[in-house]
Amino acid sequence: MSELNPNNLGELLRAAADGELDAAGEDRLREHLAAHPEDEPRVAFERDLRDACGRAMRVETPAGLRDRVVAAVRAEEHLAGSLETKAAQTRSPSFWSGPVGSLASVAAVLALAFVILQLTTGILSSTGAPAQASQVSSFVDHEHHLCSVDAAHAAAKFGIHQLDKVPEAFADLTGKTFSIEHLVAGRTCGLVFVGAGECSVPPIHTPSLHLRFRSDGSVFPENIAVSIFIQPYTGYVEMEEGRFYRLGDDSRQIYGWVRGGVVSYLVADDPVPCELLRETMGLPEAVPID
């Protein structure tokens, strides 16, 4: 370790724990520990901590964990910001410039580790279709209502303004075909196409489109908003083709179905358009995700 300052005790002990001491550093460490044997536990603690972190990082990642972590972080944007801030701090040399035994440094690292542990433990303990359906429903519900209250967000997002352009845009984005036949039929339900744009429905790295509609007042109250999110079906939320699933609870109108290798998620401000669309698609009554 050529840049080690042997007179900086904190740096010397950290380098010893990392196994990065050169010959001069090893000599300095032996001299120091001979005079200050009470520092030996500090070096041992640091070595044990780094070994534990190394073992944890080598554990095989369970299938779908990364998607579930990112979905959870997206649902808690303030937590994501805190984690990013702490990550940046711990990468900075100044964060570790104090003594290894500094309570402030140890507390900061342990606090960060605790947050990550709570996040990943909660995600790992909530597996299966209901948990993943909850992540998807939380995302689409949030995005649906955000577009209702934030006109600037909606204007920036919805760059497709003709419904017949949606299949081409979806094919360019995903390589999948998508039929708008049932959506065109939805016009008889009093739905007017507002626009469509790219979205990030879980699982991550699976491109999707968000289609937006509003009622014209001919069938149900005017300006009720309806969103349909479409993406290639990955099995992230397990659904059988030909069935209509309820993803939200009774207080939220959130549904999903699979057709032709494409999964669609429906979110609406009112149950009436959901029922009308279900009927036009010829799907049975909604059932909960198992």
Of 6-10, 73-77, 114-118, which has the strongest mean pLDDT?
6-10
Contact status, residue 208 vs residue 199, Cβ threshold 8 Å:
yes
| Per-residue pLDDT at 267 | 96
Hey, which CATH number is domain 129-288, 3.40.190.10, 2.80.10.50, 3.30.200.100, 3.40.50.1360?
Answer: 3.30.200.100
Residue 21's nearest CA partner among 2, 45, 46 is 2
**In which element (H, E) is residue 184 found?**
helix 181-185
Listed range (72-76, 136-140, 208-212, 277-281) with the worst mean pLDDT? 72-76
Of 82-86, 140-144, 276-280, which has the strongest mean pLDDT?
140-144
Listed by start position, the domains of the chain span: 1-59, 61-127, 129-288
Q: Is the torsion defined by CA of 145, 148, 150, 155 positive or negative?
A: positive
Strand 287-288 to 245-246 pairing: parallel
With 80 as the cut, is the pLDDT of residue 74 above it?
A: no
